[in-house]
Amino acid sequence: MKIYRVNMTNQTVTVEDVPAEWKGLGGRALTSAIVGKEVEPTCHPLGKNNKLVIAPGLLSGTAAPNSGRLSVGAKSPLTGGIKESNAGGTAAQKLARLGIKALIIEGQPEGDKFYSIHVDKNGCRVQEENELVGKGNYEVVARLTEKFGSKIGVLTIGQAGETRMAAANISVKDPDGNLRSAGRGGLGAVMGAKKVKYITIDDAGAPGVAIADQEKFKEAARRLAKGLREHPVTGQGLPTYGTNVLVNIINEAGGLPTQNFRLGRYEHANKISGETMHDIIVSRNGKPTHGCHAGCVIRCSQIYNDKDGNYLTAGFEYETIWGFGAHCCIDDLDIIAQADRICDDIGIDSIETAVTMGVAMEGGVIPFGDGPGMLNLLKEIEKSTYLGRILGNGAAFTGKALGVTRVPVVKGQAMPAYDPRAVKGIGLTYATSPMGADHTAGYSVATNVLKVGGEVNPLGKEGNIELSRNLQIATAALDSAGLCLFVAFCILDNADAFQAIVDMINAQYGLNLTNDDITELGKSVLRTERAFNEAAGFTREHDRLPEFFREECPPHNTTWDFTGEEIDTLYNF
């Protein structure tokens, strides 16, 4: 496999052998290793010294179930620390089949021109792009599909990325032309700062991924697929209701942040729940279940149509629905779906943006519950008005712009859909992840609330530090394998499913890794990321939640009561 390095200062491409130290890495392990080695931690994230690194996971491009995740890394314009954001869609599999270990985009052109990058079996080329500049992601994907056919892989930024807003994301085309997102941390702004509007990936005639031991690989892949199908979360809950199955569950648990983290239950939760959404989707001839990449056996995505039965959005996730919903006191799923659609189209993280809307409501820009007002605010972002630029830079920025003190962020990144006072394991992940507040970095909700992988009381302290630590390590490894995070539900309860992953990696690469080696890989990723952040100026004081979480939150009236000293033990490994 090769590393493709695109220098945007002069629009040249070089092809490099993979250095020995990076050969055993993929996905997040590789993007973080490259960013850690090549990016100066104190550089300006939107300047010429930052690099955007795109890498498929270790198992991407193979028949391993749910292995189509793509990692994108850089110094984050949102947090100022290292960032890995990953997404489904088809790009990871195509890059892997083309033998591309990583695509590194560096430098910065002078002037205002935008470019596109095209990758195929003949290599990689950079071209000036004029037509699609200023267009939303839906149009970009449609036009590129017209031009290159429906199988083309696409990474693209919308208007938010072009205008370098810190909440901008990178969209990834799925097999049916829908959009998935490398959502968090503003990587779309880094791509915009590099002046790359989109990347097309054509894997026609690609050599494919070499597998050292095909039989062993297939057998292990079957075991993982079986495990995923048999687990209640990945085999039933997620395929039926999508991630939005969580609205009722988290509301019941008293951890559904409502009205900008004032309450832990939303009185209209049932109007935005997965069950309600399922019925709406079915009644409008949408698709209640859909996979974001080939080989997905969970299929938690869906197609949500509007009242007239026309496509409105896809990949409509719990965290987004919570954010534009309970957090903003909006109980109309159609409004929330429109908000999700706009975020996907202009290319902005729907979690960051939804939390930002609640902060804007807190600051009096519009009242809580004002759905049409919220859609108008999203249009301000699209138009890049000054208000739009405030909002498009995220929740922490909007809070500062408006003089608001109640701002649910860690390391500058907005907190997702679980109140840390009622689900303390996830609070620890928010506090300590090198990514900033990120539920996917160590999803303690699984054990705290869903009782997957055992039980740890979500309202107490006991066991939560170990829980978050172990999940952060395991997640770093999964993100490196290119596996969907939801595989974790299965492997937490099923040791053989975890063994199957190790077996697949060994079968593919002709290795003899043990489970401990995989754990060590996860630890090593986290150490690399922490070291980058430390060199960028982060300290233990950045591993803290905002002070307002010391106030009680109904219904449990618990507070965030971990001391700094306790939190600081989490990274003792």
Q: Which residues bind its own copies (CB under 8 A)?
A: 40-44, 46-47, 49, 163-166, 189, 192-193, 385-387, 389-390, 393, 397, 400-403, 405, 534-539, 541-542, 544, 546-547
Q: Which is nearer to its own copies, 57 or 77 (CB)?
A: 77
Chain centroid to CA 13: how far?
Answer: 28
Q: Pick between residue 290 and residue 411 the one whose CB is nearest to its own copies.
A: 411
- The set of residues, in sequence order, having a beta carbon less than 8 Å from that of 124 and lying 6+ positions away, is 4, 6, 13, 15, 103, 117, 118
Q: Smallest gap, in angstroms, from Cβ of residue 185 to its own copies?
A: 14
What is the sign, positive or negative, of the torsion defined by CA atoms of 539, 540, 543, 545? Answer: negative
Residue 499: strand, helix, or coil = helix
Q: How far apart are CA 308 and CA 313, in angstroms?
A: 13
Interatomic CA distance for residues 181 and 167, integer angstroms:
12
**Minimum CB distance to its own copies smaller for 111 or for 308:** 111
To its own copies, the closest distance from the beta carbon of 566 in angstroms equals: 15
Minimal distance, residue 131 CB to its own copies, in Å = 23
- The two counts, helices (H) then strands (E), for the chain are 23, 17
CA dist 373 and 562 (Å) reads 37
CB 93 within 8 A of CB 294: yes
Measured distance CA(291)–CA(65) in Å, rounded: 11
Interstrand relation of 12-17 and 2-7 (parallel, antiparallel or unpaired): antiparallel
Whole-angstrom Cα distance, residue 337 to residue 343?
Answer: 10
CB of 532 to its own copies, least distance (A): 11
C-beta closer to its own copies: residue 61 or 186? 186
Cβ distance to its own copies smaller for residue 108 or 276: 108
Closest approach of its own copies to the CB of residue 107, in Å: 13
State the nearest-atom distance from the C-beta of 541 to its own copies, in Å: 3
Residue 415 · residue 355 · CB < 8 Å: yes
Alpha-helix runs per DSSP H in 87-136: 91-97
d(CA 155, CA 144): 11
* Least distance CB 108 / its own copies (angstroms): 9
Tell me the three state secondary structure of residue 117: strand
* Residue placing its CB nearer to its own copies in the complex, 193 or 206: 193
| CA atoms of 540 and 559, how far apart (whole Å) | 20
- The DSSP code sequence of 512-540 is ---HHHHHHHHHHHHHHHHHHHHHHT--G
Q: How far is the CB of 9 from its own copies (least distance, A)?
A: 14
Provide the 3-class DSSP secondary structure of residue 84.
Answer: strand
Closest CA to 349 of 394, 402, 399: 394
Is-contact 189 80, C-beta < 8 A? no
**Least distance CB 33 / its own copies (angstroms):** 21
Nearest CB to its own copies, comparing residues 360 and 553: 360
Residue closer to its own copies (CB basis): 90 or 533: 533
Task: Report the alpha-carbon distance of residue 287 to residue 314 in Å, rounded.
Answer: 9
Identity of the residue, 43 or 459, whose beta carbon is nearer to its own copies in the bound complex: 43
Task: Pick between residue 153 and residue 399 the one whose CB is nearest to its own copies.
Answer: 399
Q: How far is the CB of 363 from its own copies (least distance, A)?
A: 10
The Cα 227–Cα 494 span in angstroms is: 7
The answer to whether 48 touches 65, Cβ cutoff 8 Å, is no
Token pair recorded at residue 412 = 């500058």
Nearer to its own copies, 223 or 544 (CB): 544
Max CA separation in the chain (angstroms): 61
Nearer to its own copies, 35 or 492 (CB): 35
